[in-house]
Amino acid sequence: MPLLLVTFSSAWLFVTAAAVAAYLLLCVCLWRFQARCIFFPTNTIERSPADLGVPCQQLRIPLNESDGRPQTLDAWWLPAHRENAPAVLYLHGNGDNISISTYADQAVRLRNLGLSVLLFDYRGFGRSDGAFPSEESVYQDAESAWRYLVEQLRMNSEPAFIYGHSLGGAIAIELAQRHPEAAGLIVESSFTSIREMARYFTIFRIFPLRHRLRHHFDSISKVPTLKVPVLFLHGTRDLTVPCRMSHELHAAAPEPKQLLIIRGGHHLDNAVIAGAVYLDTLRGFIDRSGPLAMVAQMPNCQSPTC
């Protein structure tokens, strides 16, 4: 009997030690490979600008030199039908690249609203140069693209908006915080912070996230300082980012602000599900958010909550 107790005790200690070692190893991996859990770039180009069916130019946006080697970002420029039209910088999500239909179709949709559209790939995505992305690098890429839009493409100083989808929404909030001169900010299907997103996915709750996160995308702490009109959009059936997070971002943002909740919308199809309501909301926001409208309060248009 004593021998059995010793054997059982030894086995229990071995299992416990192995479990602790595995947990510590997972913590190290979470720290070391965290970016791989956030960014999912692809380099396969599914379509070219010529396939969009609208005038589109392929551009290279210069970055600061790294190790003496010039680097550029792959970008597409969709000029509006008319001159002096407002422009928008499109910031896509954490996966694939600008050639996939989700991003390219949305760029065309924005152009059809009367906007000139600049969309680009972060470094490491598509044909853009650079190593695997990080939070800081995508902020730098957005800054480079904004300056290129403002300094090179806006020939007649028309208003410029910032639009971000999902992770791009977090990047858009950071960029708008840096550039209060932007005409307006549109944030679709985005989240409050990476920490809250990790808590949303139950598997990550076992880790000490407060001390293990290297990438934060802490939008909820930034939106209260915004000085531009902002429009939040989200679908009630979004299983990737919970709809409540747009409610929280909207509640924390100062006026003028607007929230459109799209009943039945998922993470990628709000424009399709909402149809004319989606387009009319964007059009109305753009019309109200020009330089002459900055002093006016925007009505708080909100559909039933999710």
pLDDT at position 37:
80
pLDDT at position 82:
87
pLDDT at position 95:
95
Distance CA 191, CA 238 (A): 11
pLDDT digits (tens, 9 = 90+) for 225-284: 999 999 999 999 999 999 999 999 999 999 999 999 999 999 999 999 999 999 999 999
pLDDT at position 249:
98
pLDDT at position 34:
67
pTM of the model as a whole = 0.84
The whole-angstrom distance between residue 91's C-alpha and the CA centroid of its chain comes to: 6
Q: Where are the domains of the chain?
A: 1-32, 40-293
pLDDT digits (tens, 9 = 90+) for 151-199: 999 766 778 999 999 999 999 999 999 999 999 999 999 999 998 988 8
pLDDT digits (tens, 9 = 90+) for 106-145: 999 999 999 999 999 999 999 999 999 999 999 999 999 9
CB 290 within 8 A of CB 85: no
pLDDT at position 158:
78
Residue corresponding to tokens 């809250």: 196
Distance CA 138, CA 121 (A): 9
Q: Which residues have CB under 8 Å from 245's CB, separation 6+?
A: 190, 191, 192, 196, 234
Q: What CATH architecture applies to the domain 40-293?
A: 3-Layer(aba) Sandwich (3.40)
**pLDDT surpassing 70 at residue 28:** no
Distance CA 204, CA 195 (A): 10
**What one-character-per-residue DSSP string does 5-48 give?**
HHHHHHHHHHHHHHHHHHHHHHHHHHHHTGGGGT-EE-------
Q: Which long-range contacts (CB under 8 A, 24 or more apart) does 18-23 make?
A: 23/206
**pLDDT surpassing 60 at residue 210:** no
Distance CA 124, CA 216 (A): 19
